[in-house]
Every structure is written in structure tokens, then in C-alpha cells.
Amino acid sequence: MKPDDTQGGTFTLTNVGTFGSLMGTPIINQPQVAILAVGAIKKRPMVLETEDGDVIAIRHMMYLSLSYDHRIVDGSLGASFLTEVANELERFDNKRAI
């Protein structure tokens, strides 16, 4: 990566999952403010709550990692942002009309 690659940018998204990694710890490319790493999507057993009680089901799971400059982003705001990104991905409908 060259300095010009991030010139004028504020946020980076990196996909460490393309290399098979479940998760990674991204490092901020200065002068950017934050970087979000997405890991590989893998099937995992999950406990789901139903009306009939808890069940174990197989679900596709992906880890997200967010690093940010604490001089600019408060920890609470960073955590809230990451939670909202996860919520949006969980609600994603690949059958929706474009």
C-alpha cells in the first residue's frame, strides 16, 4: 500500500476472511480514523431461543473487528457503530428486489 492509496480517506474496510482467517486485528492507516475487518463466514452451532425453548441450530457466522483512533472516536460510539453494522448484516435479505 502506498500513502496515496489512503489520501483523503477516513475509514477502511478490510476482508481478512478472503485468506481463511476467522478474525484479525486491523491497524489504522494514518491519517484515517478507523478500520473494520470482516472475517471468513463459517457455519457454527448457535443456541436459538424459541417459544418451545432453546434449540441448537447451524448458522453462518462472521466475526467483525473494529479499530479506531480514540483521540477522535469515543469507545462507546465505536462499540455502538460496530453493533449497528452487525445488526444490519444480520437483517440482510439477499432475496430483496433491487
For residue 98, being part of any structural domain is answered with: no
User: How far does the chain reach from its first CA to its final CA, in angstroms?
Assistant: 34
For residue 97, being part of any structural domain is answered with: no
- What residues are labeled active site? 70, 74
For residue 12, being part of any structural domain is answered with: yes
What pLDDT score was predicted for residue 1? Answer: 62
The number of distinct structural domains making up the chain is 1
- Residue 39's domain comprises 3-90
For residue 96, being part of any structural domain is answered with: no
pLDDT in tens, 1-60: 676 766 777 899 999 999 889 999 999 988 889 999 999 999 999 999 999 999 999 999
Average pLDDT of the segment spanning 82-92 = 94
For residue 73, being part of any structural domain is answered with: yes
For residue 49, being part of any structural domain is answered with: yes
What pLDDT score was predicted for residue 36? Answer: 96
Instruction: Output the DSSP codes for the chain.
Output: --GGGGTT--EEEEEGGGGT-S-------TT-SEEEEE---EEEEEEEEETTEEEEEEEEE--EEEEE-TTTS-HHHHHHHHHHHHHHHHT--TTS--
Q: Are 22 and 64 in contact (CB under 8 A)?
A: no
Q: Cell triple for residue 1?
A: 500500500
Residue 75 has pLDDT above 90, yes or no: yes
For residue 7, being part of any structural domain is answered with: yes
CATH number, domain containing residue 27: 3.30.559.10
For residue 29, being part of any structural domain is answered with: yes
